[in-house]
Structure 1
Amino acid sequence: MGNKMSTGSAIIPEGVGSVVYDQQGMKHNHQIKSGSVHSQRGGKPVNQDSAVLCQGYGSEEGILSGVFDGHGKKGHLVSKAIKTRLPLLLLDHKNKASSSHQLNCEDESDESHLKDQSCSSPNRNRLLLQWKEAFFNAFKQMDEEIKMVEKVDYSFSGSTAVVALKQGNDLLIANLGDSRAILGVRGENGVKAVQLTTELKPGTPEEAKRIRRYNGRVFSLRDEPGVPRAWLPHAQSPGMAMSRSFGDLVMKHYGIISTPVITHHHITSNDLFILLATDGVWDVLSNEEVVSIVRGVEDEKMAAKAVVDAAVAAWKIKIPCDKRDDCTAVCYFLLKKDQTQAELVS
């Protein structure tokens, strides 16, 4: 088996706008209208985070955004590969699902076709199921491709992922690990935060149950009493803080999986923006603080940077003796900021 991952390949099909961050910096192929990406290295020599924001993905108004938080000695290579490869895999599996459905429709008799008009008029639920299936298959293939890399040892290196896909008024979120996605939602008393994901950590009862079923261990160290980690059966290693990830090949035998938790949100006129960030941000900022920061920026293109800058400052105050984690955020406005402000005032 050879190296099937290529971090130098195209990120998304031609004509789709994107902003991409990895350890080599920010890359644009053309301007994103209503979103931003920003990342800041923490206390380690290399920033292990990567991120992607794609406009025109899957449909003319489609949006794909994601943050990927690497860990272990080669974690930065895992997150970099994911941000390059996963958007292509997802779209490829979605196209396969659509083609399969079309073939099934063509094989049906005229009588059965009359009973199911969804073949000629694709409906929302079917499309959502296709995208959901594509997420599961893309995540599975992504992890398989990481396993096939021969030149880099990913035994104890990996990456989390949280990916949000907007198609029309539907938002699908695929979560793998301990990054987070939130919405800024307009309410009676201003803009509030709505959390879209739940962190998948070894301390979560169902996650711990699975890890132990595969003979992995879950416990906290004495100097981290409130931080359950995942360990090998007979070694004080590796101490994973997340229960699902890409890579981490050894721990895949002991209950760590790469299957995402997928949730759906129907977008309304009160949903103003979506923000995804790695745990370096959420370790020091609450959902409400992040929403307040985003609402306070004058230029929506500066939203992600404002959140990361605030997280960096908060680390210095709240956890001054600890090595600051890498901090990365992606923000996309579902409603233009100037339009939002006008409606809030009126």
Structure 2
Amino acid sequence: MFQKKLKQKIANIFLNNSNTRKELDHGQSFAFGGMQGWRISNEDIHKHLVPIDHHSWKLWSYFAIFDGHNGIDTAKYAADLLDKYLIDTLNQTGINSNDESIHSSQIDKNQLNHIIKKTFLQLDKKLANLVNDQSGSVCITSLIGPKYIYLINVGDARAIIISNDGQVLAYTKDHKPNVIQEQERIHKAGGRITQYENDVARVEDKLAVSRTFGDYSLDKRLIPALPDIIQYRKDSLAAFVILACDGIWDVMTNEQVALFVSQKASNTSLENIASQLLDQCLKLKTSDNMSIYIIKVFN
């Protein structure tokens, strides 16, 4: 029965021919590339603010990819609101873009992480009153300041920080039901994880990720919008930050993406690298929407 439903679902979400039209964008320090690919619709949303504003956060940049599923509403509203919620909360707490104030004795790393996590959870509650479909969304976000890079993830979109020679210096870890720590958390909350033949592990027979915005038909204690946060102090090694959805990571490893970007960076624009990487993933038979940011780090 499950196999029959799975085949029907696959037939309903894929095109007969891939849509290879690209969405490309770039700024002085970054490029974005996106492609619908084989999916019947594109449920990825991206957003960047460079700088975040021209006041308190003029020295910081914000990048985010929201990878929706079962509809677009959650990704769309989350993309519209997350940066506003995050910066408003930080401002209300008395934190501004001065790195010294963020890391002074008044507020340490744990306090900042608590604020970010609280903001994500509050936004998820807000979205429950806005979303009109059965959708959910994972999210990968980066805040880049004068001294620090923050990588913030919910779900299986991922970010890496790499060097000029392609070393992976830092990376986020996916939130999936096959991860031991996630399994233990879900079971402790009373949830169930199943995996059938020719399918991935799922929460309550439904969800292939274990933390999301939205997906309100499931118990949110099982799939909270609770992010993990990596703080990386800028150093001479950090050259690029790369954010991408699982349409990229399903067919390329962190190391493969790092080498792909680093080997082309000296003589190819970031926009062309992003475009070529989309083509490469399509050749590697990715079946999902694709979105990627490549961001140059200035130390």
Instruction: Indicate conservation of the 8 Å contact 2:33/2:271, yes or no.
Output: no
Give runs of aligned pairs for residues 281-292 of structure 1, distance below 5 A.
Answer: 281-292=248-259
Task: Kindly provide the amino acid, as one letter, of the partner of residue 65 in structure 2.
Answer: V
Identity of aligned residues (%): 24
Gaps in structure 1 of 5+ consecutive residues: 1-24, 102-120, 232-236, 337-346
Partner Cα distance (1:195, 1:98) in 2: 29
Instruction: Indicate conservation of the 8 Å contact 1:53/1:330, yes or no.
Output: no
Higher Rg of the two aligned structures: 1
Residue 261 (str. 1) matches residue 224 (str. 2): no
Partner Cα distance (1:252, 1:46) in 2: 27
Instruction: Indicate conservation of the 8 Å contact 2:78/2:127, yes or no.
Output: no
| Structure-2 change in CA distance of 1:56 and 1:130 (3 Å) | farther
Residue 59 (str. 1) matches residue 63 (str. 2): no
Tell me what 1:7 maps to.
Answer: none
Partner Cα distance (2:261, 2:23) in 1: 21
Tell me what 1:9 maps to.
Answer: none
Instruction: Indicate conservation of the 8 Å contact 2:24/2:275, yes or no.
Output: no
**SS class of match (2:173):** coil
Tell me what 1:209 maps to.
Answer: 184
Partner Cα distance (1:254, 1:266) in 2: 32
Partner Cα distance (2:252, 2:23) in 1: 24
Tell me what 1:79 maps to.
Answer: 75
Tell me what 2:290 maps to.
Answer: 327
Q: CA deviation at 1:287?
A: 1.5
Instruction: Indicate conservation of the 8 Å contact 2:45/2:76, yes or no.
Output: yes
Partner Cα distance (2:111, 2:273) in 1: 32
Instruction: Indicate conservation of the 8 Å contact 1:143/1:247, yes or no.
Output: yes
| Structure-2 change in CA distance of 1:98 and 1:303 (3 Å) | farther
Instruction: Indicate conservation of the 8 Å contact 1:98/1:130, yes or no.
Output: no
Q: CA deviation at 1:206?
A: 1.9
Gaps in structure 2 of 5+ consecutive residues: 1-21
Runs of 4+ with >4 A deviation: 25-28, 127-131
Instruction: Indicate conservation of the 8 Å contact 2:251/2:281, yes or no.
Output: yes
Output the TM-score relative to the length of structure 2: 0.81
Tell me what 1:49 maps to.
Answer: 44
| Structure-2 change in CA distance of 1:251 and 1:33 (3 Å) | same
**SS class of match (1:122):** helix
Partner Cα distance (2:102, 2:76) in 1: 35
Instruction: Indicate conservation of the 8 Å contact 1:97/1:130, yes or no.
Output: no
Tell me what 2:6 maps to.
Answer: none
Tell me what 2:269 maps to.
Answer: 299
Q: CA deviation at 1:252?
A: 2.6
Task: Kindly provide the amino acid, as one letter, of the partner of residue 33 in structure 1.
Answer: Q
Give runs of aligned pairs for residues 173-322 of structure 1, distance below 5 A.
Answer: 173-186=151-164, 190-224=165-199, 227-231=200-204, 237-238=205-206, 240-253=207-220, 255-295=222-262, 296-297=264-265, 298-315=268-285
Instruction: Indicate conservation of the 8 Å contact 1:280/1:327, yes or no.
Output: yes
| Structure-2 change in CA distance of 1:129 and 1:27 (3 Å) | farther
Instruction: Indicate conservation of the 8 Å contact 1:218/1:228, yes or no.
Output: yes
Q: CA deviation at 1:194?
A: 3.0
Q: CA deviation at 1:293?
A: 2.1
Q: CA deviation at 1:128?
A: 5.0
Tell me what 1:6 maps to.
Answer: none
Give the number of aligned pairs. Answer: 267
1:153 to 119, 125, 133: 133
Output the TM-score relative to the length of structure 1: 0.71
| RMSD, aligned α-carbons | 2.5
| Structure-2 change in CA distance of 1:26 and 1:84 (3 Å) | farther
